[in-house]
Amino acid sequence: MNLPLTPNVLNKSARNLDPILLFLVLVLSVLGTLTLYSAGKGTLHQHLWLRQSVWNGLGFLAMLLLSKFDYRRLAQSSLPIYVAGLLSLLVVLVIGHTVAGSKSWLSLGGVNLQPSEFVKWLALLFVAHRLGTKSPEALTAWDLAGAAGLLFFPMFLVLKQPDLGVAMTYTPILLLFPLLRGIRWRWVLVGVLGFSLLTTVVWNYKLKPYQKERILTFIDPSRDLKGKGYQVNQSRIAIGAGGLWGRGYMSGSQTQLNFLPVKTTDFVFSVWAEERGFVGILMALVLFGVLLHRILGIAGEATTAIGTYFCVGAAGIFGFHILINIGMVSGALPTTGIPLPFFTYGGSSTLAFFMALGIIMNIHHQAKSR
């Protein structure tokens, strides 16, 4: 698809955008960028907000273009796209470079990209296409097992990097698709037993010592307040310092005095909480909640099962990112490197979120044009 980026084309493309989603994305992106500016002020990361602004701009453009492209045609090409995604993960294992202990990155023309952030959306599209050939009532256990198998391969390759956090973000797709057929107690039992077995195997054979230490520190943060427990402890202090109304923009002591670690990535929401307080936390949760509600609303509007499945899976992925990241910074969940949409600095994750929303926008447009 070749579209010259003239004002007329952009105006026509903008008509495909759902106004509610557009508003939410713009507001969250602006709030996230302002928070990054405050978090990086006076540090080596003081220019990250500019880079994030560029990624937001590229993401918005990608969303605009994908909203114009018929998602059904895209789904028909999902097999080669899925295979290309798997190949990119294999390439990362061979020639990728390591950041924070994970060999997850490719350097392309001086720009670092993390293929695993894109592949989960490619896998979702392919699974949605495969399951979308049947009605929900006609789906069998073998169909769901096949979908799980398609997700297993990219998850396995991401775990080999190793990047447990990103690998976990594939799981909402596995959990949500069976719900479309209705919950049966025997499947719940099988799921619980399977999860228990998988947890045992992962703990004994797959988790690295530092990953086990994160979990043990989560259970008892006092075991290593100056080491593994330091991040969560400082994050809790920052959140508590925010009180009801917050300390004010660029006025948080934990943030500005650099007591809060990794404050532009994993713990950026702690910066927001310290500056905006409980009211700000509630406002962010409402915005994220409306975002998820709207995506699920578009799932109900979709004219095809493919569109419904993609939107439900997308809501699961977005929701998982939000739940795990906010739970992590508050100390309610173990520390994992899962970005918060539109807040955490990161080009790959930001661009991938926008691209997924572009597909959702087109699903809405196709339903509206019916």
* pLDDT at residue number 3: 47
Inter-helix orientation angle 347-368/48-68, to 10°: 30
* pLDDT at residue number 182: 56
- For residue range 37-66, list pLDDT tens digits in order: 999 888 878 888 999 999 999 999 999 999
> pTM of the prediction?
0.86
- Of 44, 88, 17, 10, whose CA–CA distance to 294 is shortest? 17
* pLDDT at residue number 186: 57
Instruction: Give yes or no for a contact between 328 and 266, defined as CB atoms under 8 angstroms apart.
Output: yes
**Which stretches in the chain have pLDDT values below 50?**
1-4, 9-10
- For residue range 334-346, list pLDDT tens digits in order: 777 789 999 999 8
Instruction: Give yes or no for a contact between 165 and 336, defined as CB atoms under 8 angstroms apart.
Output: yes
3-state helix, strand, coil in the chain (%, to 5): 70, 5, 25
**DSSP states of 312-345 as a string?**
HHHHHHHHHHHHHHHHHHTTSS-----PPTTTS-
CA 5 to chain centre: 28
CA 90 to chain centre: 21
Both tokens assigned to 67 = 């909203």
